[in-house]
Amino acid sequence: MEFIGKMASYLTLAVMGLLVSITLSAPMVQAQEGPSAEALAAAEAAYVDPAEMLKAKAAAAAQSAIDEGEDPAAAAADVIAATYEPFINGDFILTTTLFLVAGFLVFWMAAGFAMLEAGLVRSKNVTMQLLKNVSLFSLAAIFYWLIGYNLMYPLGTWSVEGVLSGVWGPGVLEAVGVGPSGADDIGYASTGSDFFFQLMFCAATASIVSGTMAERVKLWPFLVFTIILTSIIYPLQASWKWGGGFLDGMGFLDFAGSTVVHSVGGWAALTGALILGPRIGKYKDGRVNPMPGSNLALATLGTFILWLGWFGFNGGSQLAMGTVGNVADVSRIFANTNAGAAGGAITALILTQIMYKKPDLTMVLNGALAGLVSITAEPLTPGLGMATLIGAVGGVIVVFLVPLLDKLKIDDVVGAIPVHLGAGIWGTIVVVLTNPDASLGVQLYSILVVGIFVVVASAAVWLILKGIMGLRVSEEAEINGLDVAELGMEAYPEFSKG
């Protein structure tokens, strides 16, 4: 007790000393109430009126124009316009920046798809998947420019009202060094940024198909299908919503593409898988034979890359960044996108533990991706809790739809159909729970219209390619692996020789 009493006394003395110190120092602080007269005089001498500075710059430009025999008034006006442009055209500048930053995030998803697929296919087919992903992205870039961009965005010029664009031919960028008066849409964003951003969505659609049909489809027929998908099938149906077509006129809501992008890729993949058939030995004697992927580390890396890219995918789809409200909405979309992924991953983790007595990493990875697809149709209006629940249902869809496809003997190598088609349909429907402008009937009708169109168009292309080129590699090539049979190179040559 005596020790405690002494400690209390010491503590009291220390506090009193601190209070005295603060009290004694207060006048010194109060004495410094502002800059001295000398400092104020120096600032006054250095001050230049911004208006006078601008006048001087304009006068210098005008004089230079006079010396060179040019219009001095125009030169002075250009200087003044350039000075005020960031304030006058801030929406254009900021939205263009949003599209460029979001666009290269979505571009990075191409690496995510490549790594995910490389990790989930067997080692004898890794090189082929990598080649397909590089090739399909490059083909999408060329053919979306040649045909797809104007087919997707008719800008009110329709051959068939609300259905088929009346604008055909390659996309055209604005002139080099374009000024405000020469911009295609000064109230929106540069054409180059819009094209770049939308191209990334188009390429993502083709990546979805690549994973489902892995390990048994020929390279060149797949690439021909990619050309048709990215130049015609995807842009045409996208014009019905994002190009101001008939689905948009009905009130269909799909913020960033649960249907327009992901379900389209899923429908095309499902159609191709049904026509192509399963891998040799996948379904035998009434059993499903697992064919484990070659590198789960790569698959996990691919999932995280896709997760990162999705912030650009959904965030950029705000399509504006010129106001406080728009920037706040972009940040809200980022947060909800992340919540959806987390909900899907954790739900798949828990369900696989309950159902299989052990967690399944591949299901967790696809659960996260399904959560992302689920929140894509409406990542703005939900709260964080609702976004998590929407993503969680995506995780449930993956866990139950993967074995269902196996029962139906539909061989989806990477699980793209449950992720992009199953969760895409769910995400499009659930918009009605968070956005009062959504109509359940319109959402269901739009899902059905897009689904029927993509299945019919894809089936026609796949069947034509099957008749002309053949879709499937030989049995020997499939058994030996496409890397050696089709490409003559292996992803892991040291291991195969060891």
Average pLDDT over residues 429-456: 98
pLDDT digits (tens, 9 = 90+) for 65-113: 998 899 999 888 887 777 766 666 889 999 999 999 999 999 999 999 9
CA proximity to 293, closest of 126, 457, 406 = 126
Comparing 396 with 5, the larger pLDDT belongs to: 396
State the pLDDT at residue 55. 84
State the pLDDT at residue 401. 98
Tokens of 129: 């998947």
Measured distance CA(133)–CA(121) in Å, rounded: 13
Comparing 15 with 56, the larger pLDDT belongs to: 56
pLDDT digits (tens, 9 = 90+) for 145-177: 999 999 999 988 999 999 999 998 999 999 999
CA distances for 190 relative to 165, 263, 417, 481, angstroms: 21, 29, 35, 46
Comparing 466 with 38, the larger pLDDT belongs to: 466
Average pLDDT over residues 273-285: 96
How many Cβ atoms from other residues are within 10 Å of residue 284's Cβ? 10
pLDDT digits (tens, 9 = 90+) for 407-423: 999 999 999 999 999 99
Q: Is 188 left (phi over 0), alpha (psi -120 to 50) or beta?
A: alpha
Rg, C-alpha atoms of the chain: 30
- As a whole number, the mean pLDDT across the chain is 91
pLDDT above 90 (res 294): yes
* Angle at CA of residue 356, ends 352 and 358, nearest 5°: 75
CA distances for 368 relative to 106, 141, 158, 263, 434, angstroms: 17, 28, 39, 17, 21
CA distances for 393 relative to 163, 367, 384, angstroms: 33, 9, 15
pLDDT above 70 (res 12): no
pLDDT above 60 (res 19): no
pLDDT above 80 (res 32): no
pLDDT band, residue 126 (cuts 50/70/90): very high
Measured distance CA(162)–CA(181) in Å, rounded: 30
Average pLDDT over residues 380-387: 98
Q: What is the pTM of this model?
A: 0.84
State the pLDDT at residue 88. 65
Of the given ranges (72-86, 221-235, 361-375, 484-498), which has the lowest mean pLDDT? 72-86
Measured distance CA(136)–CA(381) in Å, rounded: 34
Helix (H) or strand (E) holding 283: strand 283-284
Q: By percentage, how much of the chain surpasses pLDDT 70? A: 92
pLDDT digits (tens, 9 = 90+) for 209-248: 999 999 999 999 999 999 999 999 999 999 999 999 999 9
Measured distance CA(213)–CA(120) in Å, rounded: 12
pLDDT digits (tens, 9 = 90+) for 328-356: 999 999 999 999 999 999 999 999 999 99
CA atoms within 13 A on the CB side of 81: 9
pLDDT band, residue 496 (cuts 50/70/90): low
CA distances for 438 relative to 319, 420, 459, angstroms: 19, 21, 31
Give the three-class secondary structure for 159: strand
State the pLDDT at residue 2. 46
CA distances for 322 relative to 174, 317, 332, 420, 479, angstroms: 21, 14, 16, 32, 56
pLDDT above 60 (res 25): no
Superfamily of domain 88-162+186-319+333-493: Ammonium transporter AmtB like domains (1.10.3430.10)
Measured distance CA(266)–CA(423) in Å, rounded: 10
CA distances for 369 relative to 116, 158, 254, 265, 338, angstroms: 11, 36, 18, 14, 11
pLDDT above 90 (res 445): yes
Residue 287 pairs in a beta bridge with: 284
